[in-house]
Each structure stands twice: as C-alpha cells, then as structure tokens.
A and B are shown apart, each in its own frame.
Chain A
Amino acid sequence: MIKKLGILLMMSVGVLAGCSNSAMEPEEINPEIDVCEVCNMGLAHEHYATEVVTTDGEIYKFDDIGCMEEFMEMETDLKEESASKKYVRDVDSGEWIELDKAYYAYHKEFWTPMANGVISFKDRESAEKYVKEQGMGEVLLDYESLKEHVWSWEQ
C-alpha cells in the first residue's frame, strides 16, 4: 500500500515537473494582452518582441531588445547563463532564436518599437540583406558586439 502511495507520489511529482517549463522554451506572443515588462507598451509588432525565460518557468516579455537589456541590467540575479534563457526573433519569420545565436543589424535610424535601432535575424545573410535594402546600417556579427552597443536608455 505504502509502496503504491510512493509510486503515486513519484508519478505526481513527475507530472508536476512535466508541467513546468523545464526546457525553458519561449512562449507565443498574444498581442491582445501581452505588454512589455519594462515600458508597458503592447506587443503589437510581434516580430520585434523578445523574451526572458527563467529556470523556474517565469516568462518576461519585452517589445524591443533594448527593453530586455534594460531589464537584465536591473535583475542582476538573472544575469548568469544558467539562471535564464534570453530569446529574440528573426524579424522576417518570427522564429525564436537565443540571444547569443542570432545576428543583428544596427543603425540609429532603423525603426524598432522603442527606437533602439537593433534588429535580430536568424542568419548573417538576412541581416546583410536588410542592411542592403535599407541602404544604411551595419551588421553586428554576434552577440559580443551587441554587448559593446550603447543602448538608448544608457545615454
């Protein structure tokens, strides 16, 4: 009997664990209700949205990569690699990509919801294509050069 109870307990623990966001996957944006954690703006331009997913399954959503960076500055305990995963989207397809695996294009005149001018892409070609189409800007090759970037809210 006790064994059975034990198994039941084990199983329920398993089920509960399954419910929590253990893979730390990003969540679909609902533009009707989702607003940016930092600036309260609605996430109408879905492909510019970004997300931070923490190990305990909390999901924070942002309208612009700049707001996410600002949030990370404030939430120092989430800064460690293991504490959270940070996602951006490919602006063309909306595919979720981890922050450090994406490619970026930057020009201060590029339109983004909070005017940070940084746009994320799934590969280098799309970033280069975007810069060519706009006739301005530069491709930031990786997340490292993004770290060097001075955000609008830091000025």
Chain B
Amino acid sequence: MRRLIRLFAFNFFLLLMLIPTHSDADEFKVEVGQSIQKAVENANNGDTILIFPGLYKESVVINKEVSIKGEDGAIIDGGGEGNVITVTASNVVLDGLTIQNSGSGQEDSGIHIKKADKNVIQNNTLKNVQYGIYIANSFENQLIENSITSSKAHFSKRGNGIHLFKGGGHLLQENEIANVQDGVYFDFTKDIEVSENHVTESRYGMHFMFSEGILAERNHVEKNVTGFMVMDSAHIDFIENKVTDHFHFRGYGILIYETKDILVEGNEILRNSTGLSLEYGGDTLINRNQIAANQVGLEFMGKNENNTFSENNFIGNVVQSKISGEDMRLDDGVKGNYWDDYSSFDLSGDGVGEEAYKAGSLYDRLLRKQPYWQFFFESPSIKLWTKAEALFPSFGTADVYDARPLVEPVTMLQDTEQRSKDRMMPGIIGILFILFSIFVIVKGRKLR
C-alpha cells in the first residue's frame, strides 16, 4: 500500500515537472524576408515580437497573448485580401505598425478583433483599408493614438474608421480619423469612453446606434456630413466637444433621434447647416453650449419630452431656431439662454430679460414647408412680418419660449482662457509703447 502511494506521489511529481512553466518573456526580432506569422507561431504568451523597418506582405492571425512592436517604417501589407491583422487572443499589444491594403469585403479591416478582451492598439497608422479597426463581441480594449484612413472611393463605398459591434468597456483616445464612412460607429455597445479624437472628411463623425452609457469628451469632429448622429440609444454624454463646419446639404452638428437620457454640455457647435436637432428625444439636459454661426441653430421636431435647456449662447445663427411639434419651455425656471436677437431689456438687473423670448416665428414654420424661401430671409417684408409677429405674438402654433432669457452671453471656461491671454496682450504692448515714449523723450531732451 505504502509503495503504491509512493509510486503515485513520484508519478505526480513527474507530471508536475512536465507542465511547462514559462518564466520570463522572450523577445523575437523579425526582419524583412522573414514572416511575422511564423514569429507568432514560435512565440509564447507574454513574448514580444519586434518588427524591423521594411515591407511585410502578409496577413497575420494573432491567437496568443503577444506584443507586436513595429520600429519606424515597419509596414504590413494585406495585399487587398481579407483582414490585414486578425486578433483572436486577449492581452495583445499592437504598437507602432503601419497597416495597409485590406480587402474590400463587408467586414475586411486593417485590424479585426473578435471575442478578445483587454488588447492595446496604439500608435498605428492604418491606410487604404475598408474598415480601420473592427471590434466585435469584445471588452475593455484600448485604442490610443492611431491614425486611420480608408480608400479614395465615395463614402458610401468605404467602411468605418473604428467599428464597435456588441461588447463594450473600451477606451478610444486621441485617434486621428479621416476619409472613412463613419469615424466611430457604436453598434449595440455599452460603457465606452471616447475622448480627444479628431474625425474629419467623412460621412458621420460619430454614429451611435442602439448603444448606451457612452462618454464623448473633448473630441473634435469637423467637415463631415454630420458631426454626431445619435439614434435609438440611451445615456450618452457629450462634454466639451468641438462640432464644426458641417455645411453639407443634409448636414447637422448634432442630430439626436429617438434617444433618451442625454447630456450635452459645454460644446462648441459652430458653422453647421443645423447646429443641434432633436427629434423624439427625451430626458435631455442641454447646458452651457456655444451654438453660433449655424444656418439653423436649433431644431426641434416631433415629440420631445422632459428636456432641460439652459445657459446656451445663440450667437449669429442665420435662423435661430426651427420648431415644430410640441410646446416647450427653453429655460429651467431660473436661467434661460442668451439669444442675440432678443430685443427686450433687463430692468431689474438680475441678468434676465423681463419679457419671454419666443422661439420659432411664423417664418420658420413657412421654411419647414418651403425650404427654398430661405432665399428671402433678409428681405424687408420678412423683417416687417417678424416685427409684426413680435407685437402680436402667437399665431396659434406650438408655443416654444424662453421665459428667462439672459441679456449677457454665458462665459464658457474655454474662451475665458483665451480672453485672459487677449487681455494681457494690449497691456504689454501699451507698457512697451510708454517705455519707448519715455526713452524717446529722455533722448530728445539730452540732444538739446
């Protein structure tokens, strides 16, 4: 009996010896002419593969927890077939690679990640790919400082820069995206932070579909068809983004459709066909935004329930607001918004005008029916009409008004910094000028 036990123990010990214990991580080097795929096959979890500069014509499948780091000028070329890099393992790092020429099929991407978590994709350049980075059913991946462009085709033929399908918990930071269909596409995803990204020259800067719990902060979307397209989603926060130059025929700065629980705070919404549009939105808080120089500043369509709208600056929009649908208060009961076409006065000195600002004139409603009447927007008759309407308000349509209009624009944090710089400058110049004058005067006296 004892011998048996001893034998068993000995065998067990032998078995233990056989389990490979991989102690410290190795580093492999790959040079031109060698295969990255081979290096991945020979590597173990935790190893690093260093790619020397040069062109590597291959598609790579990464099914182990390895780090792949490219030196400056390491290019992986998929040759126009399928995905260039496919990641099926978690904890993978892809750093400093140039990735190009994927296929042009429905999901072909520069980097395709499926059911893999906690990967870090950073400092990569993706170009001439259908989709840039496609992530499906995965969690907690980090996409940082990548640069992504698609093909030269019309945007309807391109894929998206970053496409997130199901899963969530990702972080997208400081990516530079241009010439794709949609910069970032959130498709049935949850709990994502997307900050300081820049998207330009695409269809939609960011496209939210059936997603929830997304924080979009300090991004800059410009010169796309539409900046933020938000549909059938919930609980999305837009904080301090710049949404500028969407002058496309059907372009919007931010379009919110059938979405609940949204925060839009401290954004600069400048130079868009329509700055901010809400259709079937609910429980939104829209606060302290700069809405300026748009064709149409604000548009409400259909039913919008329980929206708080306060302390926004409306400055220099061609048409301040287009309102159709339900009655709405455009203030939170204490503070309203600054409208630069507000013509009444603050007599009590509390910064709030004594008379309500009525949004949406009869002319706006005409515009909804006949958009091309926009042509007459500065004509004397329209001016007269608007004036008459101000004197005899309400032609019996949706009553949308701001009962607490502000008489001074709200100062936003972003421009106070600029202002302080601007204030310093004249002072310094003045002091220099005075010093120079004194110098000239003193010199002049001496000459006599």
Contacts and interface: CB of A to CB of B under 8 A. Distances in A.
B301 to A, nearest CB: 9
A32 B251 CA distance: 11
Interface string B145-177: 000000000111000000000000000000000
Contacts, number: 32
Given A31-B155, A33-B250, A44 B231 contact: no
A79 interface: no
A46 interface: yes
Nearest to A115: B210
B111 interface: no
Given A33-B249, A33-B250, A35-B250, A44 B209 contact: no
Interface in A49-72: none
A39 B257 contact: yes
Contact of A44 (B155, B250, B258, B279): B155
Contacts of B250: 33, 35, 40, 42
B276 interface: no
B229 interface: yes
A33 B250 CA distance: 7
Chain A, interface residues (CB within 8 Å), range: 10 to 19
* Chain B interface bracket (under 10, 10 to 19, 20 to 34, 35 or more): 10 to 19
Contacts of A45: 156
Interface of A is mostly: loop
Contacts of A32: 154, 156
Contacts of A40: 250, 255, 257, 279
Interface string B229-270: 101000000000000000001100001011000000000000
A8 interface: no
B184 to A, nearest CB: 15
A41 interface: yes
Nearest to A45: B156
B156 A41 contact: no
A134 B355 CA distance: 62
Given A39-B257, A41-B231, A42-B250, A31 B209 contact: no
B181 interface: yes
A42 B225 contact: yes
Nearest to B225: A42
A115 B165 CA distance: 12
B127 interface: no
Nearest to B155: A44
Nearest to A30: B156
B156 A31 contact: yes
A32 B156 CA distance: 8
A114 to B, nearest CB: 8
Interface string B200-231: 00011000011000000000000001000101
Nearest to B258: A39
A85 to B, nearest CB: 25
B203 A42 contact: yes
Given A32-B156, A46-B156, A115-B188, 7 more contacts: A31-B155, A33-B249, A39-B258, A40-B257, A41-B229, A41-B231, A42-B203
9 contacts: A31-B156, A33-B249, A35-B250, A42-B156, A42-B203, A44-B181, A44-B203, A46-B156, A115-B188
Interface of A: 31-33, 35, 39-46, 115
Interface of B: 154-156, 181, 188, 203-204, 209-210, 225, 229, 231, 249-250, 255, 257-258, 279
Closest 9 CB pairs of A and B: A31-B156, A44-B156, A35-B250, A33-B249, A44-B181, A39-B257, A42-B203, A115-B210, A44-B203
